[in-house]
Structure 1
Amino acid sequence: MKLRTILIHDPHPTSLVVTRNMIHSRDGLRVGGESEDFDRLLVLGKNSMADMLVMEIGEFGEIAEADDAERGIANLAVFHLRFPSIPILVLSRRDETMYARMAVRMGARGYVMKHEPQARIADAVQTVLSGRVYLSRAATHHLLMGQVGVRIGIFRGFNGDVSRLSHRELAIFRLLGLGLSADRIADSLQVTIRTVYTHSSSIRKKMRLERSTNLSSLAEAWLHRTP
């Protein structure tokens, strides 16, 4: 049996230990690295040959603000851009009906909540390792509702299709949807602000939008809303 290497990112030390023990208890799996902060995770991603990342998106304790979860989701998008070959499973306390769709649109391959039985969490790990997507029935329903397309306001012609965007353009589009400014996107992706503007201009042309404000609004609608 091939040994599969898993990275764990979880700012909550107790939860990190539980996830580590669960992985160690499964045949064919091993923990290749652990992080409690995102900078450490990026180092692990660069220096490892990991088969998968199990990631918590809640950044600051058990009771956190909504924008803290969105910061975690932005980190997910950055990790996915830098290491696209490492599939990501979100293992979180955060309500899947609120965040699973956003996580998947940011590049995650699955979402499972920490209160689920360990056997189900282990099944989610194996599902993502096999190249498939893991979501609960409730999360799947919410995701499919969003895939119907965003038809609001000036974007009635947009059906949710972002397939024309390049990998880098999609990363910028995702971060615009979270409300990040151009300079914060440049810092997150470690590119110049000129590069962000160039890609944003290309995205606007592909989406047939006239103004930058329209692009930010469309990205926010695509990420957050259902019809």
Structure 2
Amino acid sequence: MKVIIKEAYPVMRIGLKRLITNYCPCQIISCADVSQTIEAIGESRQQIDLLVFGMHMDEVADMKRVLATAKPQVQRNDIRVLVISDMCESVYAPLCISAGAKGFISPHEPVEVVLAAIKAILLGGMFVNRLLARHPVMQQIVNKGELNVFDLFSCREQEIAEYLLKNTSLQDVGEKLNLSYTTVATYRDRILKKANVKQISHLSKLIGHRHES
């Protein structure tokens, strides 16, 4: 078995390497950044079974680039990717899974959870936390193979969301649609709940990925 660990922090690289080798002795290549990871994939002459992708900033596009680079190198299936990230899970887990990752966990999870995620992915499954796995956003990705949060909204919610994504104030949205401020605020809260995010900026990130694909 061959595993690549892409992680900027040396302590985490060492910890992940020990965890994986204790679970299953294998060849492990440690990389500090995306460029080293792409180089390691390009130089590999054997099947890469797992890529552990440490992400501490928005690197979803970089992860997609790594997957695209890996495609010619992979003999059986697409490379399996586990993202370990301290980025907002409700936003970046759906983004990473829809971009091709098989799992997403926080670096603050217990060792047992990290190992469970690795095992699940190596066995061909997926892994996110239980609450997220049950949410309609993640179920949409699993069932439809794509992320389109707008499909979860009613027609009126979509209309209001479009205004909110343009940074239109609640007062102005109400005036444009002949609704009270309270009604618009209620719609906003409902929209955020359905998208499983707490801020309009997070919703914007989920929506914006479609234009970056």
Q: TM-score range by the shorter chain?
A: 0.5 to 0.7
Q: Alignment identity in percent?
A: 18
For each residue in 1:204-223, what CA deviation from the matched residue of structure 2 results, as whole angstroms up to 9, or x when unmatched? xxxxxxxxxxxxxx996263
2:149–2:207: 8 Å Cα contact kept in structure 1? no
Contact 1:97-1:138 within 8 A present in 2 as well: no
In the superposition, the TM-score normalised over structure 2's length comes to 0.61
Q: Describe the superposition over 1:74-109 as per-residue Cα deviations: whole angstroms up to 9, x where unpaired.
A: 111111122142110001222322210011111101
Query: What does residue 118 of structure 1 align with?
Result: 111
**How many aligned residue pairs are there?**
146
Among 8, 15, 29, which residue is 2:12 paired with?
Answer: 15
Report the alpha carbon displacement of residue 138 of structure 1 after superposing the two structures with TM.
2.5
Q: Which residue of 2 aligns with 1:200?
A: none
* Structure 1 gaps, min length 5: 59-68, 157-217
Within 2, Cα distance between the matches of 1:120 and 1:81?
Answer: 28
Provide Cα deviations, 1:25-47, integer angstroms capped at 9, x if missing partner.
11x34242110021110011112
Q: Pick the structure with greater CA Rg.
A: 2
Q: Residue 187 of structure 2 corresponds to which residue in structure 1?
A: none
Give the TM-score taking structure 1 as reference length.
0.57
- Is the contact made by 1:90 and 1:112 (CA closer than 8 Å) also made in structure 2? yes
Q: Does 1:33 align with 2:20?
A: no
RMSD between aligned residues = 2.6
2:52 aligned to which of 47, 51, 54 = 54
Q: Secondary structure at the match of 1:56?
A: strand
Which secondary structure does the structure 1 equivalent of 2:91 belong to? helix
Distance across 2 between alignment mates of 1:31 and 1:13: 18
What is the correspondence of 1:150-165 to structure 2 with a 5 Å cutoff? 150-151=150-151
Relative to structure 1, the CA distance from residue 23 to residue 99 in structure 2 (aligned partners, 3 Å threshold; closer, same or farther) is same
Alpha-carbon deviations, 1:119-166, whole Å to 9, x = none? 21111111111111111113222423675742489xx7xxxxxxxxxx
Residue 115 (structure 1) shift: 1.2
Counterpart check, 1:144 vs 2:139: yes
Q: Could you tell me which residue of structure 1 aligns to residue 97 of structure 2?
A: 104
Query: Are the aligned partners of 1:52 and 1:86 in contact in 2 as well (CA < 8 Å)?
Result: yes
